[in-house]
Structure 1
Amino acid sequence: MSREIQSIGFVVVAFRNDIDQLKVLCNSLLSAAHSLNFRPKVILVLNDNSIFPDIPHVDIIQGHGNIGFAAGIKKGVLASSDDYTVLVNPDCRPEDEEFKKFLNEIAPGRGILIPMLHKSSGDFDYMPYENWTFTLGRMTSARLCRRLPATNEGSLPKYAKISGAFVGMERQKALDLDAPFDTAFFLYAEDRDMTDRVRAAGIPISLLKNVHITHDGGESGKSVSELVARCKADGSLRVAYRRYGRAGALVFTVDQWLFDNLKRLLGRPSPRRANAWSADRWRRARFSDPGPLTQELLGN
């Protein structure tokens, strides 16, 4: 019989986030867990040199530099010793009642739990659930994911992915999944890769339709937009390579080039320079895995 869940570790990875907002978020998570008689802890992984005040039940991991989101999460998960792990993006709004609804759903053996994510406007945010490899698939997934609020399914449909913005699982499950993101992904697309591995392992994914978390997506990446654009391109190339091999990476490069040029003809913005940088990196590796971005980015 699975042991009862008594302690919860919230893992938050931050980079150039507002310290006051982080304090409010940490306190909200702790308050929600305390109210349900869990023993909570926040493991705050700072990928910068911010000075964070001492707060009870908040452990700080710092001094390693900007190692990226996936590697930061891994540091937090490995530092935790709690029964259950909740990964929380620092751009999530502090909403005690919604946090409590989520925590009320956790139980041994339930696999992966994810909430419904909403924009600050209150509208459902379908984009974090899009599961795609190439442009056509992205457009199809976007149309289908818009309908998620209307579905009657309690499990996440195959056309959607786990969003890394807010996700819970037993800590041992996170460890089994490599804690749980692959650190070859510096930023973005790591949740698409994890979703593939979760499904391959037969782990259930529950979409909690009664839990609405507000996520101000992208706030923590606005100060490093070129870095973010390179990471998005590399992450998507990596997903294409893992799903379809070298041919997948090659097709993605052509697909992205065509889409960028279409946007240019239509006068629409696109991160062409960042996309070209990532495509050239993979081209030089003959569309095999050129290795993680971490050292290359930190060296610049």
Structure 2
Amino acid sequence: MDSPLVSIIVVNWNGKRYLKKCFDSLFDQTYSNIEIIMVDNGSTDDSVHFVRDSYPHVKVIENGENRGYTVANNIGAAEASGKYLLFLNNDTRVDSGCVAALVEAIVSGQGVGCWACTQLSYDGSPEVIPEGGMDFLGYPTKSQRTFYASGACLFIDRHLFFDLGSFDEAMFSYVEDCDLCWRVRLRGYDVACVSEALVYHAGGGTSGRGATQLKSYAESGKQFVTSLRRRYLAEQNTIRMLLKNYSLPILALVLPIYLAVNAAEIIFFCLTSNKRVIREVYLKAYRWNLENLSETIKLRKKIQASRKVNDLEILKNVTFHVGKLRALREIGVPKFVE
């Protein structure tokens, strides 16, 4: 098997408690031709000193402030020397054969532009909600079809990554992985999962609770907890993603349904006297998209001009149930915190 250099990019923000297991697992890989880059987003927990002292072979880039997931990963990719890029969350540890399995897949795979890993929970038990499914409204959901590779462990050819325009830096965090993989698909490539590439993921270890904690909430009867900021960023970025990536005819069909689902959510929160969620999530997301609409349209023109497949090919890989309704049935109404 060819042994091209793989650049592994780990974005860190106050994740020192996870870094030892993460880097130990990377230095234990059976595939040796790797470089590891940590991009630190202004951590205050001594992460940078710990890594420089304990892992001198890790290249550390300091941003000085929290510039978000997308900007930090793009900075890391720009500094990378590898033919392939593995974007890896700091709250992960990887199986010793993970990188080797990914390289074998990308070298031998034809027509696949982006690869996902098989995610297990941090303690080794299977994830309840499989990563990678998406509904037609852009919402992550259960599916047998892998639409996108989770940003927690996303593997891609470096040239393709930059040819696509890299991560959308207006998306501070969340949904950026769906957006990138949608653009991969618009170029005519597939997105697939490598079953042998095992990644153990804490899930929201440094950014807050996410889908990987849903099992414990569903089984225990506890109310699922998320943050207003997380929900706002997800809503903001999903709208931007839809506006950029769908063709106009399909967008004209999908956008009213998306807004109708949002309207139902807004009415619910009005009736339950939770108007802060309306202001801090939905209205804020709409306002941001209106303020940034001209930039979104510019990006849309570039994406649509370079697309090689029509939306029928895209729609083959999404589900047509509404993912938010499924999540509501399974975990109930979340509790919002700061």
* TM-score, length basis structure 1: 0.75
- Equivalent position of 1:199 in the other structure: 185
**What do the CA deviations read for 1:108-130 (whole angstroms, capped 9, x no partner)?**
66532212222346233435313
- Equivalent position of 1:41 in the other structure: 35
Cα distance in structure 1, aligned partners of 2:148 and 2:276: 24
Task: State the superposition RMSD in angstroms.
Answer: 3.5
- Equivalent position of 1:61 in the other structure: 61
**What do the CA deviations read for 1:49-93 (whole angstroms, capped 9, x no partner)?**
343232232111113422211111110111011222111111223
Shift of 1:22: 1.3
Q: In the alignment, does 2:135 pair up with 1:129?
A: no
Change (3 A) 1:270 1:193: farther
Q: Which of 262, 271, 276 is matched with 2:268 structurally?
A: 262
- Equivalent position of 2:313 in the other structure: none
**What letter matches 2:92 in structure 1?**
C
Cα distance in structure 2, aligned partners of 1:286 and 1:100: 42
Task: Map residues 28-107 of structure 1 onto 2, 5 A cutoff.
Answer: 28-32=25-29, 35-36=30-31, 38-50=32-44, 51=46, 52=48, 53-54=51-52, 55-107=55-107
Change (3 A) 1:47 1:227: farther
* TM-score, length basis structure 2: 0.67
Cα distance in structure 1, aligned partners of 2:131 and 2:240: 18
Contact 1:30 1:40 in 2 (8 A): no
Cα distance in structure 1, aligned partners of 2:97 and 2:264: 45
For this pair of structures, how many residues does the alignment match?
Answer: 269
Cα distance in structure 2, aligned partners of 1:171 and 1:4: 16
Contact 2:95 2:197 in 1 (8 A): no
Change (3 A) 1:189 1:165: same
Shift of 1:25: 0.7
Contact 2:101 2:194 in 1 (8 A): no
Cα distance in structure 2, aligned partners of 1:6 and 1:87: 16
Q: In the alignment, does 2:167 pair up with 1:181?
A: yes
Contact 1:281 1:290 in 2 (8 A): no
What is the aligned-residue identity percentage? Answer: 19
Shift of 1:209: 2.3
Shift of 1:47: 1.0
Contact 2:94 2:198 in 1 (8 A): no
SS of the equivalent of 2:233 reads: helix
SS of the equivalent of 1:221 reads: coil
Task: Map residues 89-168 of structure 1 onto 2, 5 A cutoff.
Answer: 89-107=89-107, 111-120=113-122, 122-126=125-129, 128-134=131-137, 138=139, 142-143=141-142, 145=143, 148=144, 157=145, 160-168=147-155
Q: In the alignment, does 2:242 pair up with 1:240?
A: yes
Shift of 1:98: 4.2
**Which sections of structure 2, spanning at least 5 residues, go unmatched?**
210-225, 300-338
Contact 1:12 1:44 in 2 (8 A): yes
SS of the equivalent of 1:188 reads: coil
Q: Which of 208, 219, 234 is matched with 2:205 structurally?
A: 219
SS of the equivalent of 1:31 reads: coil
Q: In the alignment, does 2:28 pair up with 1:25?
A: no
**What do the CA deviations read for 1:193-226 (whole angstroms, capped 9, x no partner)?**
1122111112232321233322221122129934
Cα distance in structure 2, aligned partners of 1:41 and 1:68: 22
Contact 1:91 1:217 in 2 (8 A): yes
Cα distance in structure 2, aligned partners of 1:95 and 1:269: 45
Contact 1:241 1:288 in 2 (8 A): no
SS of the equivalent of 1:213 reads: strand
